[in-house]
Amino acid sequence: MTHALRGSAVIRGVAESELGEVGPHRFPLDLLGEAVAGALADAGIAKSEVDGLFTAVGGRMMSNLDVGEYLGIAPSFTDGTMIGGSSFVSHVHHAALALQAGACKVALIAYGSTQRTDQRRPGRLPYPPELPSYEAAARPVHPVTGYALAAARHMHEFGTTREQLAEVAVAARRWAQLNPKAFKRDPLTVEDVLSARVVATPFTTLDCCLVTDGGGAIVMTRADAYTDRGTAPVYVLGAGEAHSHRSISQMPDLTTTSARESGRRAFEMAGLRPADIDVLELYDAFTINPILFLEDLGFCAKGEGGAFVEGGRIAPGGALPVNTNGGGLSFCHPGMYGIFALIEAVRQLRGDAGERQVAGATTALAHGNGGQLSSQVTAILSSEL
Amino acid sequence: MTAADLVPAEPAPWATFAARRAEGRIPFQHCWSCERAVFYPRVLCPHCGSVELEWRDSAGVGVVYSATYLPARDGGGRHVLLVDLDEGFRVMGSATDDAGAYAIGSRVRGAVDVGNPEAEPRFVFAEEGPR
Ligand SMILES: [Zn+2]
């Protein structure tokens, strides 16, 4: 039986703000606003029509209030779900539910960050305290320590190699070289990744995502509304969420993420299998992430992710296109990347991806990750019902 | 076990944890309902929901579940370990020896380092046997 939510909502507009390093006179909400203006124009929908607001901005206790005020939007439905980088994929799920229930008619998902510029600002923004910590005395460096521990365990259990991790970074860079908006586009080899400075074994600096500024926005409506406007709609066929822990020492098994559950839920709703997916956008905060997610989402067996990415399989020209914009490793990573995975999936399904376009792509999977492999949210999108 | 042994819903798990750790112990809670170890300390059991939790101390012996080494830019560095203690819970800890490797799967023995008044006491582990 077809799931009631399957294909009921569509993404009508997407946009990024200026990305990279935007300078000291702009703040996260400025970039968020730029992206919102772009996404509304793309959708052919006026700001005054937005009545559903979905947002998460790092370090803000009341993101939705800040964002609603800045944009001049007084929503009838508001959702500030904050589960790190996976928040925006979760917002797509929640927006589809709200649209179907009639809680709103036009849903706006929005994000902005000046993480890179913030490093250069005097008197950095105070973040809310997260004490007590039962890990802090061991002096982990968040978030890299947690992901390094997961990678080390994966190597121990399954024989995953240092070179296989590096292949993920190299594939991302090769995609980035086809994307004029990507932050890092210079050539990169496995040897370059291995010989870079070690941050936390087994990772070098080139196993870690970028630190950039950037914003993004997405406009959604019901599939049966606003059919006369904007670009061709992209259907939300399936979505699934799961989270299992916050701190890495509480993660039940460092080699299996709850993407197993989020993926199963999304595929069940969509009525599809991994073999049906043409292009994947997997949140690559670190090189181990796509390996774990390929396994947990069912594209290969547990433990085989390292071998799976070998030989340029996920790079341009490979059998399975993954992170076609260059990902968090080479395109853009302002702290919570999930919205950019969604935007790229939409561009691929519309055939708007230029040189990096995957020919004939009609189904895409966008996967968000949050915390320390803590939160996993999967969305399956298609240009066809 | 008598009723007096049972600790009711602990009002301040962190305070009790910190006080016991400051005495050089590795504290955890035992759930009388499901008989499982609870760490980090809480006011209810995350496994079964019971509030019948009792404080205990670990002997500090366990197995390295995962390990990473963070080199410092000016030389040296430090280990961050996840250790599965024999009492049935996992902690993040440091290593007594910041050279060498701490192999995943190796047996380690831990203690609490309370020596630095400037720093929070930390769990430190050394490999069992000669290094
Ligand atoms: Zn229990």
A92 Cβ partners below 8 Å, 6+ apart?
Answer: A11, A109, A218, A220, A236, A239, A342, A379
pLDDT at A131: 55
> What pLDDT is recorded for position A307?
98
Whether residue B65 lies within 8 A of chain A, CB to CB, comes out as: yes
Whether B68 and chain A come into contact, CB under 8 Å, resolves to yes
Give the C-alpha distances (Å, rounded to integers) separating B118 from A64, B6, B16, B122: 40, 35, 20, 12
How far is the C-alpha of A281 from the C-alpha of A345, rounded, in Å?
A: 7
Which among A134, A148, A197 has CB closest to B68? A148
Helix H segments across chain B? Answer: 13-22
A56-60, A148-152, A158-162: segment of lowest average pLDDT? A56-60
- Asked if A135's CB is within 8 angstroms of B14's CB, the reply is no
pLDDT of residue A120: 84
Q: How far apart are CA B90 and CA B73, in angstroms?
A: 29
Q: Which residues are CB-contacts of A280 (< 8 A; sequence separation ≥ 6)?
A: A294, A299, A314, A320, A321, A322, A323, A364, A365, A367
Give the E-state strand segments of chain A in sequence order. Answer: 9-16, 52-55, 77-79, 106-113, 198-200, 203-204, 214-222, 234-243, 279-282, 363-370, 375-382
Q: Take residue A247 and report the two structure tokens written for it.
A: 């701190």
3-state SS, residue B3: helix
d(CA A214, CA A26): 11
Chain B residue numbers with beta carbons less than 8 Å from the beta carbon of A148 are: 68
Distance between terminal CA atoms of chain A? 15
Question: Could you tell me which chain A residue has the CA closest to the CA of B15?
Answer: A132
E strand spans, A230-374:
234-243, 279-282, 363-370
pLDDT in tens, A97-118: 999 999 999 999 999 999 999 8
Q: Which two tokens stand for residue A147?
A: 């992901």
Both structure tokens of A75: 């929503």
Between CA A292 and CA A306 the distance in angstroms is 9
What is the per-residue pLDDT for B5? 52
Contacts of A132 (CB under 8 A, 6+ apart): B14, B18
Q: Write down the number of H helices and E strands in chain A.
A: 11, 11
Mean pLDDT taken over chain A = 95
Residue A147 CA, distance from chain mean position: 16
Residues making up chain B, counted from first to last = 131
Q: Does A76 touch chain B (CB under 8 A)?
A: no
Write the Ramachandran bin of A7: left for phi over 0, alpha for psi from -120 to 50, otherwise beta. left
Question: Rounded CA gap, A230 and B93, in Å?
Answer: 55
Instruction: Please state the ipTM of this predicted complex.
Output: 0.90
| Ligand 1 center to B13 CA (angstroms) | 16
Q: Out of A3-12, A256-265, B5-14, which region has the weakest mean confidence (pLDDT)?
A: B5-14
Rounded Cα gap, residues B93 and B109, in angstroms: 11
Ion ligand 1 nearby residues (CB, 5 A): B 31, 33-34, 45, 47-48, 50
Chain A CB within 8 Å of residue B119 CB: yes
Percent of chain A's residues with pLDDT above 90: 91
Helix (H) or strand (E) holding A71: helix A63-71
Q: A125 CB near a chain B CB, below 8 Å?
A: no
Inter-chain CB proximity B69 and A136 less than 8 Å? no
| pLDDT tens for each residue of chain B, 131 residues long | 444 455 444 458 888 999 999 999 999 999 999 999 999 998 889 999 998 999 999 999 999 999 999 999 888 899 999 999 999 999 999 998 777 778 999 999 999 999 888 899 999 999 886 54
Q: How far is CA A305 from CA A280, A300, B122, in A?
A: 14, 6, 35
Give the confidence band of A207 by pLDDT, cuts at 50, 70, 90. very high
Q: What is the pLDDT of residue B11?
A: 57
In angstroms, the CA A84 to CA A56 distance is: 8
Backbone angles phi, psi at A13, to 5 degrees: -150, 145
Burial class (CB in 10 A: 0-12, 13-18, 19+), A133: middle
Give the pLDDT confidence score for residue A272 in this predicted structure. Answer: 98
